[in-house]
Structure 1
């Protein structure tokens, strides 16, 4: 299978947008990490009991975990953009394949994350319904 000039153009444009989105994602991850270090201090200054019994360190840990999870698909997206641009610059079929593999990894990770969140929300709805029934 060969790529038409139009297909190459579309892939190269997608790679440029992927790089832009990945850079914005890396900036957001940096902000999450910075926030993870300051949120504990901010939460510790709140009145006793306002956090519902949660430790301020929990929020710091939560932000670090969120940054770590967010890093994976952003890194895959960045690799896709870089490898696709490099593949066209060097006319290298292997780099094109590697770039497309990273795009697949990006979407696979996002898909699995969506499934996890759907199951989590479903369980929360069930727990809420059982809690409401128990209170009635």
Structure 2
């Protein structure tokens, strides 16, 4: 009985990559390269802003007085927030760059390993943005709950 079951294994299905699919993948790699370069530039500007904005706040007495009690800790918070945002933009740019480079190599030279690597980077990119999206949604629900609890307590 077990021998009959083992003999009835389904035939291995091979995925066929047509010329249309190769063309689509090649177009995807072009856009991924463009978006990765834009992402690198924006993340570098955000990281530069992380260290520039506190200096601008401290150099302008009117803004510094508006910071009030936060004082220098307010500029530290600004630096940390902007730096983290810059890093959050930098990581997907790295993944997009890997998708662009490996995907292009896989499509142009028929390199299965490169195409596998590009698809793994694509999976990581979607997991990253999915996790960020879940965190933002959870933060909004927490914020709504805290505002509601604050209004109920007032």
Q: Normalising to structure 1: TM-score of the pair?
A: 0.93
Question: Residue 27 in 1 paired to residue 41 in 2?
Answer: yes
The partner residue of 2:121 within 93, 102, 115 is: 102
CA apart distance, 1:52: 6.3
Q: Distance in 2 between matches of 1:51 and 1:36?
A: 20
CA apart distance, 1:71: 1.2
Which stretch of structure 1 is more off in the superposition, 49-58 or 123-132? 49-58
Q: Which runs of 5+ in 1 are unaligned?
A: none
Q: Distance in 2 between matches of 1:78 and 1:107?
A: 14
Q: Provide the residue aligned with 2:99 in structure 1.
A: 80
Structure with greater Cα Rg: 2
Q: Provide the residue aligned with 1:39 in structure 2.
A: 53
Q: Residues 29 and 51 (structure 1 numbering): CA distance in 2 closer, same or farther, change over 3 Å?
A: farther
CA apart distance, 1:48: 2.0
Q: Distance in 2 between matches of 1:100 and 1:107?
A: 11
Q: Residues 24 and 60 (structure 1 numbering): CA distance in 2 closer, same or farther, change over 3 Å?
A: same
Q: Which runs of 5+ in 2 are unaligned?
A: 1-14
